[in-house]
Amino acid sequence: MTARVGVITFPGSLDDADAARAVARAGAEPVPLWHGDRDLRGLAAVILPGGFSYGDYLRCGAIARFAPVMGELVPAARAGLPVLGICNGFQILCEAHLLPGALTRNAGLRFIDRVVRVRIEDTRTPWTADYAQDQEISVVLKSGEGAYVADPATLARLAAAGQVVARYAGANPNGSVGDIAGVRNEAGNVVGLMPHPEHAIDALTGPGTDGLGFFTSVLRAMVDQ
Amino acid sequence: MSGADTVGRAAATPGQPQPYAELGLTSEEYARIGGVLGRRPTDAELAIYSVMWSEHCSYKSSRVHLRQFAESAPPSAALLAGIGQNAGVVDIGQGYAVTFKVESHNHPSYVEPFQGAATGIGGIVRDILAMGARPVAVMDSLRFGPADAPDTRRVLPGVVAGISFYGNCLGLPNIGGELAFDPCYRGNPLVNALCVGVMRHEDLKLAAARGTGNQVILFGSRTGPDGIGGASVLASATFGGSDAAKRPSVQVGDPFMEKLLIECCLDLYAGGLVTGIQDLGAAGVACATTELAAGGGSGMRVDLDVVPLRDPALGPAEILMSESQERMMAVVEPGDVDRFMDVCARWGVLATVIGEVTGTGRLEMTWRGEQVVDIPPASAADEGPVYQRPIQRPAGQDALLADDPAALPRPEGGPELRAALLSLLASPGLADTAWVTEQYDRHVRGNTVLAMGQDAGVIRIDEQTGLGIALATDGNGRFGLLDPYAGAQLALAEAYRNVAATGAVPLAVTNGLNFGSPEDPGVMWQFSEAVRGLADGCAALGVPVTGGNVSFYNQTDETPIHPTPVVGVLGVHADVTRRVPVGLRTEGAPIVLLGRTAAEFGGSAWAQVAHGHCGGRPPQVDLGAEQALAAVLTAAAADGLLEAAHDLSEGGLAIALAECCLDQGLGCQVALQGDLFTQLFSESAARAVVAVRPGSERAFAALAARHGVPVQELGVAGGDSLVVQGSFDIPVDELAAAHTGTLPGIFG
Amino acid sequence: MARIVVDVMLRKEIHDPQGEAIASAAHRLGFGQVLGVRQGKRFEVELSGPADEAALARVAELAGELLANQVIEEFTLHES
Amino acid sequence: MARIVVDVMLRKEIHDPQGEAIASAAHRLGFGQVLGVRQGKRFEVELSGPADEAALARVAELAGELLANQVIEEFTLHES
Ligand SMILES: Nc1ncnc2c1ncn2[C@@H]1O[C@H](COP(=O)(O)OP(=O)(O)O)[C@@H](O)[C@H]1O
Ligand SMILES: [Mg+2]
């Protein structure tokens, strides 16, 4: 049986099909989850995709956080289920307090869609194990509220515990503190990432295949279990 | 007075004055309504006729000209639905059909740039959705006054942010468009949006209400007092109210609702729950009900009391005219209504049965239990006034043509040519558009193969077979001014060439015709010439016009904008992995210029940037040469002979080569023959520059010879400079600095 | 130093989809008695000099020109 | 019916690029005496029932759970 990875669709999710495609490309079976679901159906890992859940109204991710499926996901994530939030998914995970900090308006105050270089600084998570420590990858960043912020104490804690999963390697595109592009929870199973690895799985439609590692990593983590 | 103006009352009070003039109707048109109905219209009926007979909805000034698109259309087996539908539908093979259309939102975008442009995207997306298709991409074609004018600084950032906000939130990749600046658009920006959608052949939907007893369902947002300036005239005239007169004409977009509406409609289609469907755009419920009823040749009864309102104070005329966004209207068989409602509930979309199809042939509406509308729907939807407006070639046209740019001082020698290239490359109309295009999500849906910065946007349709489409929009107001017939053909030729440069076979055309006032005979001459040029051009190239949009009254006081037909061409890629990008990528790849170059500077970017000049004749149109060039480009792409291809347009070879270098940061060395200035900056049409895959030189030369396309070997790709031998060289970094600095310098 | 607050709200008749989305989220969260929500902006403007009439007038001018889009919004000011 | 206003501002230590951009735009427009601007949100919440303590408490709960993200924002309420 192939490993089954859930991809949640919230009202306004946009990159759900792309995340599912990336899961399939990595060799796992993508399983759609609906925001109204109250059952994670024994899935081995779950992705919260990019998009504008609930129109990004109020704050990005603020309303999606209360979707029924989140009632299942939050305890499962606390119990160790591998969860990846990409872009809007990252915002939802922060709003749900599964990840520290918050994402705010880009420093330039404009939405940007741009290929960026990102350095993978923590390869111990189920989502990044297939990368080399400090490997630089090219991925698409596309967001209007991608600037990561946290209070100084939290930042210090993240740095000390190695919870910064990825940093922007080139010029800081959005004003994120410490060039942070992605973080994880203490246990390491929940990862949030602002750029989109699912848009970097094929040189035909993206900057290359550097993003595939997130999806092969989790597949391996599931098989290894 | 209280209560509504009912049909009974209208019959009993024939002499009651009505504000038809404020609603934009002439006294002849008003009299004609009376003739149709055999009595004066009720206020609600007057609202319907005034919007349906408006220029925007009835095409009363343009219709006699637009006919040519159908009459001289080349025979095309690919056309599944043509002009007259919400959007044209084209067969692209493998059972897929594509629908695409341009729409303008010029005036609203000037009044309120952000919301105006945002709702422009929303409107065109619903048009595509109404055909039964899944919208898969958008494009935007933008024109503003001078880049550094205060007006432009106000309008441009708002327009771009609005398109970004709405399109990104819908999850539709933006795959291209245009950005141009000219003083003629000061106070009259052009905001034209294009949407393209994909469906299986059998999914095609039409806007027709058929089947007596079928239910009419309004779904999506509630109806509020949006964009009903006209109806509030009515309300205040009738009720003496002052509140209503203050109602806004600005509509606010809710892209989240539209996203839900898209998914909801696609589920409804998949479930076979819809027999007819229409989007609500301009003229809202009035337009949707009359067009559905007229389209089906049926009657319809509508209860306005059940229309869900955001503002309970709205009266019948206001409900009918409201332009509240994100609404659709469907015709549903009674047995399917429950399932229809279930699908809407799943997506959180409000849906209400507001009426049913009847066999009476009349459109009847009630409000508070009384009949307020009783009309033959076709009289409003299809039988509006048609005008043959006076046409007069402007007196100054000959002087304009005689103002030959040959008299302008030209750069001479390497340093001057070098400086001319850099200043063109840095001019706002040719500078890097990243400030704009980075605000658009081009990656969403994961099927974008080529997007901004390339000659055309390319989208993959089928992941298994690689089937895809290419789309480009083009228009050049300066050429349009000098010769609207040729200008329209040059716009068509450029879009056609752009699509072919990526390797796609051009298949069909849409257009947005942006002009001044049709009541100005000079403008009407420009319009008729442009339509004739486009129709003739499409016939010559064998690509039918499938639909489009007309925007008149783009003028400040007496000065109209340049005639600006924006032409969109759709092409097909049998296999998108064969697409050809713009950028040079291999050292030593031979660079070849295709086509013939003459000294053609009328309306050129060089004349504009260097001298602020627009006069003389636009470049010669040679549609046979365009066809041959496209044939070479598409065959070469299919055979894998090319590494890069870029069409020549504004700024000529100089700008094309610079862009080929900038894309991947690889330089080139070229040797040009003859007059260097002409070689570099002329804007002769039917040309492209290509980088041949090393090893394919002979095959490519044979291909070009077979199609009779002139070939000029220019040099090779490589190095870190653009080198014009014996004249100048410019490091790619310096090109990049000139190219990228301009828009951020102006807009921050 | 003066601190003046500018409240900017959409005009009454202008559609506020964001407010509507928040209201329905509130309902789903069990705040059934919420009838409606309108979302606006709040600016805290710090000025050099005293918080006098002139300062208020100046901020009103700023609000009209920059902080509010009067095509669709209206604003009010008060000292903080 | 009660109408309660919730003001939400970024916490002081959180960087506010929008406020900064507005302040520099104000300077460019000639409002030199503007020392700084902070941008926040203002919600008007309409509730069924009277504007009593209970209503305020309920809206405070809504604000804490939904309207403000207390990781970066703080809120205050008042009757309108
Ligand atoms: N410039 C044009 N070229 C071809 N067709 C046009 C043009 N302008 C309008 N049309 C066609 O006329 C019909 C009515 O247009 P319109 O009222 O804009 O449609 P909708 O209300 O669906 O947007 C459509 O089929 C449209 O494609
Ligand atoms: Mg339509």
pLDDT in tens, B361-405: 999 999 999 999 999 999 999 999 999 999 999 999 999 999 999
Show me where the domains of chain A are located: 4-224
List, in sequence order, every residue forming a beta bridge with B729; answer none if it has no partner: B723
Q: Is residue B250 within 8 Å of residue B227, measured between CB atoms?
A: yes
The pLDDT value recorded for residue B247 is 46
HSE, CB side, 13 Å, CA atoms: give it for residue A143. 36
Q: Is residue B607 within 8 Å of residue B524, measured between CB atoms?
A: no
What's the sign of the alpha-carbon dihedral A18, A19, A25, A29?
A: negative
Please work out, in degrees rounded to the nearest 5, the angle formed at the alpha carbon of residue A148 by the alpha carbons of B154 and A179. Answer: 100
Is A198 annotated in the active site? yes
Which residues on A lie below 8 Å from B259 (Cβ)?
A: 11-12, 14, 52, 55
- Using pLDDT thresholds of 50, 70 and 90, give the confidence band for residue B234: low
The pLDDT value recorded for residue B238 is 45
User: Does B241 score more than 50 pLDDT?
Assistant: no
Q: Is residue B551 within 8 Å of residue B191, measured between CB atoms?
A: no
- The tokens for B333 are 């068989």
Which residues on C lie below 8 Å from D41 (Cβ)?
A: 39-42
Whether C69 has its CB under 8 Å from any CB of chain A: the answer is: no
- The tokens for B662 are 């900038």
Whether C1 has its CB under 8 Å from any CB of chain A: the answer is: no
Would residue B466 count as lying in a domain? no
Would residue B477 count as lying in a domain? no
Whether B313 has its CB under 8 Å from any CB of chain C: the answer is: no
Which residues on A lie below 8 Å from D20 (Cβ)?
A: none
For residues B705 and B708, what is the distance between their CA atoms, to the nearest angstrom? 5
Backbone angles phi, psi at B690, to 5 degrees: -135, 155
Binding site membership of B677 for ligand 1 (Cβ less than 6 Å) = no
Would residue B576 count as lying in a domain? no
Q: Is pLDDT larger for residue B41 or for residue B243?
A: B41
Q: Is residue C9 within 8 Å of residue C73, measured between CB atoms?
A: yes
The pLDDT value recorded for residue C52 is 87
Report the b/e string of A8-47 with b at 16+ CB within 10 A.
bbbbbbbbbbbbbbbbebbebbbbebebebeebeebbbbb
List, in sequence order, every residue forming a beta bridge with B550; answer none if it has no partner: B513
Q: CA of C13 to nearest chain B CA: how many angstroms apart?
A: 7
Q: How many CB atoms lie within 10 A of CB B705?
A: 12
Among candidate residues B296, B287, B232, the one with its CA nearest the CA of residue B58: B287
* Residue B276 backbone class (left: φ over 0; alpha: ψ -120 to 50; beta: rest): beta
Report the DSSP pairing between strands B299-303 and B351-358: antiparallel
User: Does A1 score more than 70 pLDDT?
Assistant: no
The pLDDT value recorded for residue B240 is 38
Is B56 annotated in the active site? yes
- Using pLDDT thresholds of 50, 70 and 90, give the confidence band for residue B249: low
* List of chains touching D (3+ CB pairs within 8 A): A, C
Among candidate residues B172, B131, B102, the one with its CA nearest the CA of residue B279: B131
- Return the minimum-mean-pLDDT range out of A174-188, B534-548, B689-703, C46-60: C46-60
Would residue B19 count as lying in a domain? yes
- Using pLDDT thresholds of 50, 70 and 90, give the confidence band for residue B414: very high
User: Does C49 score more than 90 pLDDT?
Assistant: no
B673 residue type, one letter: Q
The pLDDT value recorded for residue B556 is 86
Q: Is residue C50 within 8 Å of residue C2, measured between CB atoms?
A: yes
Minimum Cα–Cα distance from A110: chain D residue: D18
- The tokens for B40 are 């004066």
Number of domains observed in the structure of chain B: 2
Supply the DSSP string of B354-397, one letter for each residue: EEEEESSS-EEEEETTEEEEEE-HHHHHT------------TTH
The pLDDT value recorded for residue C50 is 87
For residues B96 and B465, what is the distance between their CA atoms, to the nearest angstrom? 12
DSSP class of residue B423 equals H
Which residue among B61, B549, B551, B570 has the greatest number of ligand 1 atoms within 8 angstroms of its CB, and so is best to mutate? B549
- Using pLDDT thresholds of 50, 70 and 90, give the confidence band for residue B229: low
Report the DSSP pairing between strands A112-120 and A164-168: antiparallel
Question: Among the residues of B53-105, which ranges form H helices?
Answer: 55-58, 63-71
Q: How many CB atoms lie within 10 A of CB C49?
A: 12
The pLDDT value recorded for residue B293 is 95
CA B631 to chain centre: 26
Question: What mean pLDDT is predicted for residues A98-106?
Answer: 97
User: Does B307 score more than 90 pLDDT?
Assistant: yes
Q: What CATH architecture does domain D2-79 belong to?
A: 2-Layer Sandwich (3.30)
Which CATH number is A4-224 given?
3.40.50.880
Question: What mean pLDDT is predicted for residues B465-479?
Answer: 98
B262 residue type, one letter: I
User: Does B235 score more than 70 pLDDT?
Assistant: no
Among candidate residues B626, B670, B663, the one with its CA nearest the CA of residue B489: B626
Minimum Cα–Cα distance from D55: chain C residue: C33
In B435-519 the beta strands, taken as DSSP E runs, fall at 448-450, 457-460, 468-474, 505-514
Among candidate residues B500, B492, B572, the one with its CA nearest the CA of residue B540: B492
Is A87 annotated in the active site? yes
User: Does B468 score more than 70 pLDDT?
Assistant: yes
User: Does B1 score more than 50 pLDDT?
Assistant: no
List, in sequence order, every residue forming a beta bridge with C79; answer none if it has no partner: C4
B244 residue type, one letter: A
Q: Which residue has the tokens 């009476």?
A: B360
User: Does B478 score more than 80 pLDDT?
Assistant: yes
Work out the angle between the directed axes of helices B697-706 and B623-638 (0-180°, nearest 10).
Answer: 150
The pLDDT value recorded for residue B265 is 98
Question: What mean pLDDT is predicted for residues D21-46?
Answer: 93
List, in sequence order, every residue forming a beta bridge with C38; answer none if it has no partner: D44
Question: What does pLDDT average to over chain B?
Answer: 94
Backbone angles phi, psi at A75, to 5 degrees: -65, -35
- Return the minimum-mean-pLDDT range out of A80-89, B222-231, B503-512, C64-73: B222-231
For residues A180 and A164, what is the distance between their CA atoms, to the nearest angstrom? 7
The pLDDT value recorded for residue A225 is 64
Q: Which residue has the tokens 């949100």?
A: D41
Chain segment B559-612, per-residue pLDDT in tens: 999 999 999 999 999 999 999 999 999 999 999 999 999 999 999 999 999 999
Binding site membership of B547 for ligand 1 (Cβ less than 6 Å) = yes
Question: What mean pLDDT is predicted for residues B238-265?
Answer: 73
What is the C-alpha end-to-end distance of chain D, expressed in Å? 12
Binding site membership of B66 for ligand 1 (Cβ less than 6 Å) = yes
- The tokens for B163 are 């398109």
The pLDDT value recorded for residue B73 is 83
For residues B653 and B308, what is the distance between their CA atoms, to the nearest angstrom? 58
Q: Which residues surround ligand 2, an ion (CB under 5 A)?
A: B 86, 127, 279
- The tokens for B139 are 């494009």
Q: Which CATH number fits the domain that encloses residue B7? A: 3.90.650.10
User: Does B86 score more than 80 pLDDT?
Assistant: no
When CB atoms are compared, the residue of C14, C16, C17 closest to B248 is C14
Residue among C10, C16, C18, C31 with most chain A CBs within 10 A, to mutate: C18
Ligand 1 atom with minimal separation from the B281 CA: 21
Show me where the domains of chain D are located: 2-79
Q: Is residue B344 within 8 Å of residue B219, measured between CB atoms?
A: yes
Which residues on D lie below 8 Å from C52 (Cβ)?
A: none
For residues B576 and B307, what is the distance between their CA atoms, to the nearest angstrom? 46
Q: Is pLDDT larger for residue B303 or for residue B74?
A: B303
Minimum Cα–Cα distance from A22: chain B residue: B446
Among candidate residues D22, D42, D46, D17, the one with its CA nearest the CA of residue D34: D22
* Percent of chain B residues past pLDDT 70, beyond the cut: 97
Report the DSSP pairing between strands B505-514 and B545-551: parallel
The pLDDT value recorded for residue B228 is 73
- Using pLDDT thresholds of 50, 70 and 90, give the confidence band for residue A94: very high
A149 residue type, one letter: V
- Using pLDDT thresholds of 50, 70 and 90, give the confidence band for residue B221: very high
Q: How far is the CA of B154 from the centre of ligand 1 (A)?
A: 30
For residues B87 and B277, what is the distance between their CA atoms, to the nearest angstrom? 13
Helix (H) / strand (E) element for B120: namely helix B113-130
The pLDDT value recorded for residue B72 is 85
For residues B123 and B130, what is the distance between their CA atoms, to the nearest angstrom? 11
Q: Going edge to edge, which strands form the sheet with B448-450?
A: B448-450, B457-460, B468-474, B564-573, B505-514, B545-551
The pLDDT value recorded for residue B569 is 98
User: Does A124 score more than 50 pLDDT?
Assistant: yes
Chain segment B98-136, per-residue pLDDT in tens: 999 999 999 999 989 999 999 999 999 999 999 999 999
Q: Which residue has the tokens 């070939």?
A: B711
When CB atoms are compared, the residue of B112, B224, B226 closest to C71 is B112
For residues C78 and C74, what is the distance between their CA atoms, to the nearest angstrom? 14
Q: Is pLDDT larger for residue B236 or for residue B712?
A: B712
SS (H, E, C) D7-65: EEEECCCCCCHHHHHHHHHHHHCCCCCEEEEEEEEEEEEEECCCCCHHHHHHHHHHHHH
Q: Is residue D66 within 8 Å of residue A58, measured between CB atoms?
A: yes
